[in-house]
Structure 1
Amino acid sequence: MKQRIGQVIWNHVQEHSALYLFIVVLFVMGIIFGTLTVQSLGYAQQHDLYTYFQQFLDEFARNNIVDPGYAFYQNFIHYLKYVGIIWVLGLSIIGLPVILIMVFLKGVFVGFTVGFLVHQMGMKGFMFSFVSVIPQNMIVVPLILMMSVISISFSLKLIAHLFRQNRTYQKLSLAKYIGAMAIAAAVLLIVALFQTYLSPLLMRGLL
């Protein structure tokens, strides 16, 4: 079963290799831009952000944080909305540029977050990002990139079939498209559980 799933994913990546390369390059450009943004911030802006971050750490150390159940809900909804918007945009022809923007912005967010922590806290900041930012993004980022490729591919096929007036294959693709979103939601559920209940334990080890 695992080999079959792996083969399906590998075939999908090979079939859309050019699109994956473009999406990955766009995401990396976002990371670079986000990292450079940290360097461009003024001293006052960096100080305000770091002060806010320190206040969060102080509250976190005293366990003055939101209820884990509520945090889990917020984490899951946040990820689901982001991936869900990409999925919905794939159903509309005009949504293609927005998908690309969202991939770029995700890279900016990751690059800025990690870059800011490293810039302000050095090696400790890197370790903190390694346990608080990187673990869930090791799953979320590939999932977002894959859903972006699937959405763009579906949208391009939809354009082709609208011009060809061939609706049969379109319905079959829609079923697979809905299935891809269902699988993505299940994966995001696991990610939200990890971020809510395991990630805080790793973070406390560095405080």
Structure 2
Amino acid sequence: MKQKIGQVIWNHVQEHSALYLFITVLFVMGIIFGTLTVQSLGYAQQHELYTYFQQFLEQFAKENFVDPGYAFYQNFIHYVKYVGIIWVLGLSIIGLPVILIMVFLKGVFVGFTVGFLVHQMGLKGFLLSFVSVIPQNMVVVPLILMMSVISISFSLKLMAHLFRQNRVNRELSLAKYVSVMALAAVILVAVALFQTYFSPLLMRGLL
């Protein structure tokens, strides 16, 4: 079963290798842009952001800072909204540019967050980002990239089907497309659980 799933994923990546390369490069460009944005901030802006961040860390150090159930709900909804919007955009041809913008912005957010922590806190900032930002993004980012490729591919196929008026094949593709989002939601549950219950423990170990 695992080998079959792995083969399906591998065949999918090979079939859309050019699109994956383009999306990955776009995401990396976002990371670079986000990192450079940290350097372009003035001293006053950096100091203000760091002050807010320090206040957050002080509150976060308290055990009952946020109710875990509420935190899990917020984390899960945040990820599902982001991936879900990309999924919905794939249902429309005009949504393609927005998908690309969202991939780029995700890279900007990751680059800015990690860059800011490292710039302000040095090694401790890197370790803090390593336990608070990187772990969940090691799953979320590939999922976003894959969903973006699938959405773009589906949108292009939908456009072709509309011109060909091939209604049966379009309905079969839509069923598979829905199942992909359902699988993504299950994966995001695991990500939200990790971010809610394990990531805070790792962060408190560094504070």
Pair in the same fold by TM > 0.5: yes
Matched residues, number = 207
Q: Distance in 1 between matches of 2:198 and 2:62?
A: 17
Q: Which moved more, 1:91-100 or 1:64-73?
A: 64-73
Instruction: Identify the residue that residue 140 of structure 2 maps to in structure 1.
Output: 140
- 1:202 Cα deviation from its structure 2 partner: 0.5
Q: Distance in 2 between matches of 1:117 and 1:130?
A: 10
TM-score (norm 2): 0.99
- 1:165 Cα deviation from its structure 2 partner: 1.1
Mapping 1:2-81, distance limit 5 Å: 2-81=2-81
Are 2:165 and 1:165 aligned?
yes
- 1:63 Cα deviation from its structure 2 partner: 2.5
Instruction: Identify the residue that residue 156 of structure 1 maps to in structure 2.
Output: 156
- 1:66 Cα deviation from its structure 2 partner: 1.4
Structure 2 gap segments, 5+ residues each: none
Q: Which amino acid aligns with 1:54?
A: Q
- 1:64 Cα deviation from its structure 2 partner: 4.6
- 1:2 Cα deviation from its structure 2 partner: 0.8
Q: Distance in 2 between matches of 1:107 and 1:65?
A: 28
SS of aligned partner of 2:198: helix
Q: Distance in 1 between matches of 2:65 and 2:22?
A: 40
Q: Distance in 1 between matches of 2:64 and 2:7?
A: 46
TM-score (norm 1): 0.99
- 1:107 Cα deviation from its structure 2 partner: 0.1
- 1:114 Cα deviation from its structure 2 partner: 0.1
| Superposition CA RMSD, Å | 0.6
Instruction: Identify the residue that residue 181 of structure 1 maps to in structure 2.
Output: 181
Q: Distance in 2 between matches of 1:151 and 1:179?
A: 13
Q: Distance in 2 between matches of 1:203 and 1:115?
A: 17
Identity across matched positions, percent: 87
Structure 1 runs (4+) deviating above 2 angstroms are none
Instruction: Identify the residue that residue 102 of structure 1 maps to in structure 2.
Output: 102
- 1:62 Cα deviation from its structure 2 partner: 2.1
Q: Deviations over 1:28-84 (max 9, x none)?
A: 000000000000000011001100000011011122511010000000000000000
- 1:168 Cα deviation from its structure 2 partner: 1.4
Q: Distance in 1 between matches of 2:50 and 2:7?
A: 45
Structure 1 gap segments, 5+ residues each: none
Q: Distance in 2 between matches of 1:124 and 1:92?
A: 44
Q: Distance in 2 between matches of 1:110 and 1:23?
A: 15
Q: Which amino acid aligns with 1:165?
A: Q
Q: Distance in 2 between matches of 1:62 and 1:146?
A: 37
